[in-house]
Structure 1
């Protein structure tokens, strides 16, 4: 039926579904992937259902915070970086070191989640800027600015003023996936829609984009399993 974003930190995407068999408005949080479904019985206005969801926001966020498949980032956990699982371990020195199989960082364990999140955001900005610059140059249309957020509802967006926004969690996905999302959003600089002309631009910027697009559909929610709140 549609989607609605419940504002907050983080924003929560509501999937609106109308059911002729439903007797009352209901909210359901999937234990599998954390998707939130707002079901409307016949005759109930969308605004009334959204008001109901807002009254249940505290309960809803509590449910999302206790998803059984969430992973608290800490020493000994495998965290994907650029599509490869890396074992988080403590080490000496002053900086975070990434190699093929591990992420090593100094300092007390309680500081690990915040440090890793900040490091991932820095890496994400670097990778997304590189990809966006490359695609914008190929398209011949510059973008105005680049910002990062932690959104569950979308991996990126492009404003009519040329502002690009991305989820920093894309840096945990394989590089081809990050590149596809950058191509998708840069393509909106030329086509602010999802018309055949838009997808033609995406195909030109990112040949074979169907595979990384499918990866996001199948595995994207897994990137939200990792929690950095300690």
Structure 2
């Protein structure tokens, strides 16, 4: 694996990787961190990869320009909470209070980000536990445990022994989106697959799940641009 620097304003660093499974050249830009990766199948010369990259430069620069910058969470910044954008302001005491669309964070400004992240995780755990309990009761199948992580590739998972895992960033989404993910993972307690039977369980628990899934596909990656 190596890197290529595309000169210009701005310059773009492209990571070059070879893949034995790749069947064609491909160029991708992650919406999570903006990383650009050029994948070369085995046996394709690097010169051919460079020519491919140069042919896609206009496309790549359009996507780089369109990507929204990261948000460093702290006093004065804004971030979504339960689907609504909230402004972060300095509060009194050491706790965190919410009023209208403002989060008042007490204590020193240098620790505001860390304390706000801990508060969001606690809020996520409470909301996800309530939703998971509700759907598990409706399904008649209890889950074994509930854990939170900051995953990038998935919003939740269900293990074969009934353990539910969720991304704590779901607390940033509208309530119905968090509920959908909870229903999705609880449905795996009955169907450990994504068959038609599985989606029928999701629909029985949640209702029409398609708008929520589309919301996550469109907006989910943007939730990772908030850096704590």
Fold in common (TM above 0.5)? yes
Aligned CA RMSD, in angstroms, stands at 2.4
Residues 71-96 of structure 1 deviation map (CA, whole Å, 9 limit, x = unaligned): 11011111110001110000112321
**TM-score of the two chains, using structure 2 as the length reference:** 0.76
Q: What secondary structure, in the 3-state scheme, does the structure 2 residue paired with 1:18 have? A: coil
How do residues 72-221 of structure 1 correspond to structure 2 at under 5 angstroms? 72-221=72-221
How do residues 26-45 of structure 1 correspond to structure 2 at under 5 angstroms? 29-30=29-30, 34=34, 37=37, 39-41=39-41
Kindly state the Cα deviation for residue 100 of structure 1 after the two structures are TM-superposed. Answer: 2.1
For residues 153 and 31 of structure 1, do their structure 2 counterparts lie closer, same or farther at Cα, with a shift above 3 Å needed? closer
Kindly state the Cα deviation for residue 38 of structure 1 after the two structures are TM-superposed. Answer: 6.0
CA distance in 2, matches of 1:182, 1:32: 23
* Contact 2:28 2:36 (8 Å CA) reproduced: yes
CA distance in 2, matches of 1:36, 1:202: 35
Q: Which residue of 2 aligns with 1:71?
A: 71
Structure 1: segments with no counterpart, 5+ residues: 1-13, 45-66
Kindly state the Cα deviation for residue 29 of structure 1 after the two structures are TM-superposed. Answer: 4.0
Q: What secondary structure, in the 3-state scheme, does the structure 2 residue paired with 1:127 have? A: helix
Q: What secondary structure, in the 3-state scheme, does the structure 2 residue paired with 1:86 have? A: strand
Residues 131-157 of structure 1 deviation map (CA, whole Å, 9 limit, x = unaligned): 000000000000000000000000000
**TM-score of the two chains, using structure 1 as the length reference:** 0.75
Aligned length: 188
Structure 2: segments with no counterpart, 5+ residues: 1-16, 45-66
